[in-house]
Amino acid sequence: MNITTQTTSMEGDKHVHAARQTATIVGVLFILAAVTAILGLIFYSPILGGPDYLRHGAEHKDQIILGALMELLVVCSAIGTAVGLFPFLRKYNESIALGYLCFRLLETVLITIGLISILSLLTLSQSFVATAPNASAFQASGILLLAIHDWTFKIGPDFMLGINTTMYSYLLYRSRLVPRWIAIMGLTGATLVLLAALLEMFGIILQISLWGIILALPVATYEMTLAVWLIVKGFNPDAIASKSTD
């Protein structure tokens, strides 16, 4: 009996230790995703920030490529958070956890399409500067590529983010893997970023605007709060231990 109890205790400790390591990695990835997303927008500014983007894009080629690399890091980090959280969330509701994973992956696909549109716009800009042909044809293509980027931004990091954040925040609330006040922050932030996405789609507010920032700030605050908690505290050991035999 004692040997069995000790074995069970050791297995439980292993689960808790592994969960602690995973929580730290997930927390770091949340922070990495946020930082690289901001850097990506900053690096993209020559090609997204004004009417003369066809000329400015070619002049800042290296900067824009750095922006694309930052967004690739966003994609990798977002996939990492989903893969890291899924094994824990699925123990409480596998269907919702799988839905979260799918919507998170769909978000990263849309981000990837957006960065491809920016790199395509960079190529267009280089051709425009090199050949100086009929500007109207290049302008039409540029407008199309910018529109693709803008819509992938609205649907991916806004709309899909709102959906997948709702799903995993609900499971965090239900599981008590983190304090419930953090999960409530997530549910609130997800609702507001979904609202922002809908308002942007209907042209009521702009993506980069005061209202856009106000509505997106709660979910960003939530992700950073969750990240710090996971790095410093990890998942709730009691919640992990209660499911360690599943």
pLDDT one-digit tens code per residue, 194-207: 999 999 999 999 88
Supply the mean pLDDT for the chain.
91
Q: What does the block give as tokens for 17?
A: 């230790």
d(CA 195, CA 214): 11
Q: For the whole model, what pTM was predicted?
A: 0.91
pLDDT at 245 over 60: no
Taking the C-alpha atoms of residue 184 and residue 174, their distance in angstroms, rounded to an integer, is 11
Band (pLDDT 50/70/90 cuts) for residue 246 is: low
The amino acid present at 68, given as its one-letter code, is A
Supply the DSSP string of 216-228, one letter for each residue: HHHHHHHHHHHHH
